[in-house]
């Protein structure tokens, strides 16, 4: 085997050295501790609890959208994994690969916008968090919130996004110094200093319309039409982009006849607005409003590129926050039907297994478990799926 | 476990990718480490990581077009691999097994990234500065064109192209890494090569 490999390597068009990661040694070292933590038995228990726990735990957890859920634990915090950390009723502490630590308040959402050797950039979308930043002179650590940037090299500070009675951002420094930029304003804060930046008052219109639509939301439209839309989106994605058109064109644009650009664009805008309205409603605490916006998006824009994700999000919302298991099953089934090549199929299947198991629906659970293990024998949820379909 | 400890101690002496010195059969060392790690030896697990982490990070970096998620992917790959070592049928094939896990997890992440882009949440990545200054001009032009296409290609096609044109793998090797047939890989690569040529002809070869 090794001889064949060595022979082959002489012939390779090997360009690896020309596109190699910077600071590989440091990054490899930085990840080792995080891997150890994630492999520890306590960490595995925490993740199992977060993903497959009882309804009460799920309702309390109010899980992360595209991320792994971490539950605060004694001792070393778990490693940050995934692009977004979202907390429910509990505080959560996580460790970043560079050794920094984020202690998120309850009901907060933080996105990891960039994690590189020269910069770590987080976006605080909701709530607040305290950041204990490992000192590394060659790396900037930046927290963005509503246009305000807080950047440091090594320190401990807290950032809070305030929405009531007026939108504002508050920065408090416990140790070291931070630099805060808000538009043209720029200020340095030292240990013990605090700065509150008042922003525009929030608009409640979007939340109101989302809440109103809850009662009027029609049920979901034909999955076959959306299925075709999903296939079309995949097949057509490269062609217009290579010709220099916008890479974000949705299947609705391509399906529209000549001269129908305006209605197509309007539909896309409406779908985008509904999706963003759902996120805003959820962040504002209106879970039913978020549910209604997602239902409307699916009913009124089944061919939109966001539809499969909207169905998945609807299932996740019902399962994790609303305690509506049957509704979650319907939404996740819908997500599978319209998003045949979507990246969250694996997650949707795993969630269906967990839902059918919790409801004592053994045959449905076994069917979905077989499908999951056939498609994803090495998948992230394979261990949980292999637990079987007996009601706990 | 003395021999394993010495292997772990020698971990810095290999190649840039963490391979063993020339006088050792790397596959045989991998096999011994896998057997020991399965028996619960933490030094063996540590040695496996240190021998192959750079390879995994490099592959992740190139598959994800330099995205910062490469570090997350490195962690994901070793969390999966070290918790499933018992499923590795041929312990001598550890390196390619890790490469396969990396490829599959990266493909999954690219699919997510594509969805995020479609709904307006995607992040632009500036790859030009990631190309080494030592790169010959023709190779630079090709890498620049290839990574300009990132995000517009289907994720599986993008992965196949990078494995072929950057990693320099053969079609059977790519098929093994992507867990699909050689015919499928050939289709992906052919599709990508046509687009790559078009991209190069549209200015990729200009400075």
DSSP structure string for A212-231 = HHHHH------HHHHHHHHH
Confidence band for A263, pLDDT divided at 50, 70 and 90: low
CB within 8 Å: B169 and A238: no
- Residue B117 is predicted with a pLDDT of 66
- Residue B94 is predicted with a pLDDT of 95
Provide the residue count of chain B: 207
- Residues from chain B that touch A248, judged by Cβ atoms under 8 A, are 117-118, 120
Q: Is the predicted pLDDT of residue B196 greater than 80, yes or no?
A: yes
Contact criterion met (CB below 8 Å) for B139 and A14:
no
Q: Of B67, B70, B68, B202, which Cα lies nearest the Cα of B144?
A: B202
How many Å apart are CA B142 and CA A179, to the nearest integer?
A: 41
Q: Is the predicted pLDDT of residue B157 greater than 90, yes or no?
A: yes
- Residues from chain B that touch A30, judged by Cβ atoms under 8 A, are 71
Our CA-based measurement puts residue B163 at a distance from the nearest CA of chain A, in whole angstroms, of: 10
CA closest to B194 among chain A residues: A242
Percent of chain A surpassing pLDDT 70: 63
**3-class SS of residue A314:** helix
**Minimum mean pLDDT among A46-55, A183-192, B108-117: which range?**
A46-55
Contact criterion met (CB below 8 Å) for A354 and A331:
no
Higher pLDDT, B172 or A345: B172
Confidence band for A179, pLDDT divided at 50, 70 and 90: confident
Provide the residue count of chain A: 392
CB within 8 Å: B61 and A20: yes
CA A173, A177, A181, A185 torsion-angle sign: positive
How many Å apart are CA A236 and CA A222, to the nearest integer?
A: 22
Proportion of chain A in helix, strand, coil states, percent, rounded to 5: 45, 20, 35
Which of A27, A237, A272 lies nearest to residue B152, judging by beta carbons?
A237
Higher pLDDT, A221 or A322: A322
Residues 104 to 143 of A: which have CB under 8 A from any B CB?
113-116
Q: Is the predicted pLDDT of residue B43 greater than 80, yes or no?
A: yes
Which of B27, B57, B135 lies nearest to residue A18, judging by beta carbons?
B135
Could you identify the residue written with the tokens 């401990």?
A: A156
Q: Which helix (H) or strand (E) holds A10?
A: helix A2-11
As a whole number, mean pLDDT of residues B38-46 equals 87
Phi, psi (rounded to 5 degrees) for B117: -65, -45
Higher pLDDT, B158 or A259: B158
Determine whether B122 is exposed, middle or buried from the number of CB atoms within 10 Å of its CB (0-12, 13-18, 19+): middle
Which of B143, B152, B154 lies nearest to residue A242, judging by beta carbons?
B152
Q: Which two tokens stand for residue A49?
A: 């609890």
Higher pLDDT, B126 or A313: A313
Q: Which two tokens stand for residue A186?
A: 């720029």
Confidence band for A63, pLDDT divided at 50, 70 and 90: very low
**Minimum mean pLDDT among A19-33, A182-196, A311-325, B174-188: which range?**
A182-196
Contact criterion met (CB below 8 Å) for A106 and A89:
yes
Which of A22, A31, A39 lies nearest to residue B82, judging by beta carbons?
A39
A19 touches chain B (CB under 8 A): yes
Q: How far is CA A362 from the centre of its chain?
A: 30
A3 touches chain B (CB under 8 A): no
Query: Complex ipTM, two decimals?
Result: 0.80
Contact criterion met (CB below 8 Å) for A153 and A141:
yes
Which of B62, B104, B168 lies nearest to residue A12, judging by beta carbons?
B168
How many Å apart are CA B149 and CA B159, to the nearest integer?
A: 12
Confidence band for A302, pLDDT divided at 50, 70 and 90: confident
- A100-136 pLDDT tens trace: 888 887 777 888 888 777 788 898 888 888 888 887 7
**In sequence order, what DSSP letters do the residues of A7-48 get, joined into one string?**
HHHHH----GGGG--TTHHHHHHHHHHHHHHHHSHHHHHHHH
Which of B61, B80, B168 lies nearest to residue A13, judging by beta carbons?
B168
- Residue A206 is predicted with a pLDDT of 36
Higher pLDDT, B155 or B66: B155
Confidence band for A284, pLDDT divided at 50, 70 and 90: low
Residues 35 to 54 of A: which have CB under 8 A from any B CB?
35, 38-39
Number of helices (H), then strands (E), in chain A: 15, 13
Confidence band for A283, pLDDT divided at 50, 70 and 90: low
Q: Is the predicted pLDDT of residue A205 greater than 70, yes or no?
A: no
**Minimum mean pLDDT among A35-49, A291-305, B1-15: which range?**
B1-15
As a whole number, mean pLDDT of residues B55-63 equals 93
Our CA-based measurement puts residue B164 at a distance from the nearest CA of chain A, in whole angstroms, of: 8
**3-class SS of residue A101:** strand
B contact test, residue of A8, A24, A40, A253 with most B CBs within 10 A = A24
Contact criterion met (CB below 8 Å) for B121 and B129:
no
A contact test, residue of B71, B135, B166, B167 with most A CBs within 10 A = B71
How many Å apart are CA A279 and CA A282, to the nearest integer?
A: 5
Higher pLDDT, A380 or A297: A297
- Residue A90 is predicted with a pLDDT of 62
């Amino acid at each position: 085997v090794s001889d064949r490999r060595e022979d082959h390597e002489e012939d390779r068009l090997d360009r690896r050295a020309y596109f190699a990661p910077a600071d590989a040694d440091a990054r490899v070292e930085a990840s080792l501790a995080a891997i150890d933590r994630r492999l520890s038995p306590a960490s595995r228990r925490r993740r199992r609890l977060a993903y497959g726990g009882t309804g009460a735990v799920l309702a309390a957890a109010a899980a992360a959208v595209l991320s792994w859920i971490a539950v605060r634990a004694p001792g070393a915090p778990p490693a940050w994994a995934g692009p977004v950390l979202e907390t429910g009723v509990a505080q959560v502490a996580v460790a970043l690969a560079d050794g920094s630590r984020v202690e998120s308040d309850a009901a907060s959402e933080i996105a990891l916008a960039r994690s590189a050797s020269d910069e770590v950039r987080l976006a605080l979308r909701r709530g607040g968090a305290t950041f204990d930043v490992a000192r590394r002179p060659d790396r900037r650590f930046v927290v963005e919130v509503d246009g305000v940037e807080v950047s440091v090299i090594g320190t401990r500070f807290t950032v809070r996004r305030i929405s009531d009675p007026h939108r504002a951002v508050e920065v408090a420094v416990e140790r070291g110094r931070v630099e805060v930029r808000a538009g043209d304003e720029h200020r340095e804060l030292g240990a013990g200093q605090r700065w509150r930046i008042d922003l525009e008052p929030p608009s409640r219109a979007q939340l109101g319309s989302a809440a109103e639509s809850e009662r009027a939301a029609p049920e979901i439209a034909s999955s076959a039409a959306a299925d075709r839309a999903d296939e079309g989106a995949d097949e057509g994605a490269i062609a217009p982009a290579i010709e220099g058109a916008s890479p974000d064109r949705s299947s609705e644009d391509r399906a529209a006849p000549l001269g129908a650009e305006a209605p197509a664009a309007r539909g896309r805008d409406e779908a985008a607005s509904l999706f963003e309205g759902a996120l805003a409603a959820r962040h504002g605490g209106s879970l039913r409003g978020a549910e209604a916006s997602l239902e409307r998006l699916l009913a009124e824009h089944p061919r939109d590129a966001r539809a499969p994700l909207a169905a998945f999000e609807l299932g996740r919302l019902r399962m994790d926050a609303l305690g509506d298991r049957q509704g979650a099953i319907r939404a996740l089934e819908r997500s599978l039907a319209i998003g045949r090549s979507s990246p969250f199929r694996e997650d949707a299947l795993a969630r269906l297994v967990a839902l059918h198991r919790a409801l004592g629906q053994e045959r449905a659970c076994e069917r979905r478990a077989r499908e999951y293990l056939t498609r994803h024998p090495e998948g992230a949820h394979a261990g949980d799926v292999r637990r079987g379909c007996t009601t706990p | 476990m003395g021999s394993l400890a010495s292997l772990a101690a020698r971990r810095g002496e290999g190649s840039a990718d963490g391979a063993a010195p020339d006088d050792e059969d790397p596959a045989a060392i991998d096999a011994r480490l896998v057997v020991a790690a399965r028996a619960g030896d933490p030094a063996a697990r540590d040695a496996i990581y240190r021998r192959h982490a750079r390879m995994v990070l490099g592959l992740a970096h190139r598959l994800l077009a330099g995205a910062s998620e490469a570090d997350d992917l490195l962690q994901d790959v070793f969390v999966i691999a070290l918790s499933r070592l018992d499923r590795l049928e041929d312990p001598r094939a550890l390196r390619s097994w890790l490469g396969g896990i990396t490829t599959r997890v990266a493909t999954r992440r690219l699919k997510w990234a594509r969805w995020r882009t479609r709904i307006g949440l995607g992040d632009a990545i500036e790859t030009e500065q990631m190309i080494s200054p030592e790169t010959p001009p023709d190779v630079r032009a090709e890498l620049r064109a290839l990574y300009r296409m990132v995000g517009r290609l289907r994720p599986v096609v993008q992965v196949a192209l990078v494995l072929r044109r950057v990693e320099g793998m053969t079609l059977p090797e790519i098929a093994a890494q992507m867990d699909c047939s050689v015919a499928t890989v050939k289709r992906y690569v052919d599709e990508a090569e046509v687009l790559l040529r078009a991209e190069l002809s549209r200015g990729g070869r200009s400075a």
